[in-house]
Amino acid sequence: MELVSIIIITKNHSKYLSKCLKSVLNQNYKNIEIILVDHNSSDNTSEIVKSFNSDKIKYFLYKENKGIANVRNFGIRNSKGKLIFFTDSDCIVTKNWIEEGITIFSNDNVEGIEGKTIAENQNFGASEHFVENFLGGQYQTCNIAYKRSTLIEIGMFNENYRIAYEDVDLALRVKKKYTIKFNPEMLVFHQLVKWSIKALICNAFRGGDKVMLVKEHKYKQILNFGILEINSLIVIFFPFLLFFYYRIKSLRDLIIIPIFFLRAIIHRLVIWKAAYNNKILIF
């Protein structure tokens, strides 16, 4: 039974971290190390980690601010497993998560496994967000695994991606030579995470990395209807529709909805600026 590394990046997610770590430590597959990289949290993340008192958890406080891809590469460099599984600190993995991945890795030329991700529950409002991936093709680090040798061969994560889409870029580079399989039995539940106004505004700046992904890989699926992004246009021109699109379950939901309008405007401006700077016209 060879060592498997599980890399988790966290920042100010102590509220969700306990469930994540409990689920990873409860794997049927026991020969694991958990590489937990704390990207300079200001909450009680370190206390949560200490409370587990587990020698399987290797905790690193990483203070450098060089972007998310840089942090993930730090995790890889400090891991030892031949297989590397990625999940996020706001996720809950099932007991057979690693076993399901290892089964698929036995196939020839398979260098990556993407799992199924669903919301922890459906009782959510506008102020909560989560990730779901039912059919594959999203390649998100909340639920994916690679052979270590492949990550090293392709140069790990591209550190030009500072905010987002470093996971998609990685997968697209792997797929140029190898196969990434989707296994719906490799299941992860994504906890419902409360949006803060700051986090929602910061999310808008993902647009710059989105344009870079399109330019480098001609991956136009990432932009709905190209640079026009028709969904974003609808939000900007008809903002009142947001109140019909999102669930209103609390006062917090009502407060956060106007911020979605502001996010749509910022996101559009960021994409236009990035497209101009990269001299790329996206259709």
User: What pLDDT sits at residue 229?
Assistant: 58
Write out pLDDT tens, residues 127-181.
999 999 999 999 999 999 999 999 999 999 999 999 999 999 999 999 999 999 9
* 92 lies in some domain: yes
Final residue in a domain of this structure, among 131, 160, 194: 194
Between 110 and 238, whose confidence is greater? 110
Do both 169 and 207 map to the same domain? no
User: What pLDDT sits at residue 241?
Assistant: 84
Q: What average pLDDT does this structure show over 218-232? A: 59
In a 3-state reduction of DSSP, which class is residue 68?
helix
Do both 62 and 140 map to the same domain? yes
The pair of structure tokens assigned to 43 is: 């909450």
pLDDT beyond 90 at 238: no
Nearest to 180 by CA among 212, 216, 154, 211: 154
Q: What average pLDDT does this structure show over 36-48? A: 96
Instruction: Tell me which of 33-47, 92-106, 231-245, 251-265 is least confident.
Output: 231-245
Q: Indicate the pTM of the whole model.
A: 0.93
Alpha helices in 95-165 (DSSP H): 97-105, 148-153
Rounded to the nearest angstrom, the gap between the alpha carbon of residue 24 and the centroid of all alpha carbons in its chain is 17
pLDDT beyond 70 at 223: no
| Segments forming the whole domain that contains residue 213 | 197-277
